[in-house]
Amino acid sequence: MRIIPAIDIINGKCVRLTKGDYSTQKIYNENPLQVAKSFEANGIQYLHLVDLDGAKSKHIINHKVLYEISTKTSLKIDFGGGLKSSEDLKIAFENGASKITGGSIAINNPALFLEWLDQYGADKIILGADCYNRKISTQGWQKCSETDVLDFIKDYENKNVKYVICTDISKDGMLQGPSTELYAEIIEQTNVKLIASGGVSSVKDLETLKEIGCEGAIVGKAIYEGKIKLNKLSMLC
């Protein structure tokens, strides 16, 4: 299972939210590159970079942070947040993203998302399936749809999506464990490569996610709050 630390960006700074609530933001470092380099120094190969400003706006915003990290580390970056047009996608790839994650776009403009999938391939385009009470959320988790997360994933699997990042918003930033039952259900009923996100609080959580068959696991607040040491993460990679 791939271990994927997360860096969330607001105003160019490394922050974390609780349950996606922007009013709960806590700044952990004003220099995201410094954080990324610490991951790399500890043997980490992957990074989940999220433009939270972009997620709430109509376009990508923090692409300069993406560029700096991609050019000054060897981390393989999946980038999400604010990708609402083909121009945004082009900017993300030109600034060093290895993959991009499309969430809101897959609900609001599925034709465009499928166009990206066809143009760039299933190894480059990740489906973002962020949910609250199993319902897909969009616009930086500010809006909730009526679409069930499993139905959403199954529909896109039929359209050749290969990778899915699934975040249970109720777990995100809570440090109370991930939605293992939901992930097990998705893994049992689909063949997607599932990347779990939200709630990881310990190495044991990661071992459980590996046991149920997750392809990857994103870790955020547990690192920043010292619940999981980076040298412990590197041992799992």
Contact 54, 103 (CB under 8 A): no
Contact 113, 83 (CB under 8 A): no
**What residues are annotated to the active site?**
8, 130
Distances (CA, A) of 35 to 68, 101, 154, 173, 186: 12, 21, 35, 18, 32
Query: Helices 63-72 & 32-41, crossing angle to 10 degrees?
Result: 30
* Alpha carbon distance 63, 83 (integer Å): 11
Neighbours of 33 (CB within 10 A): 16
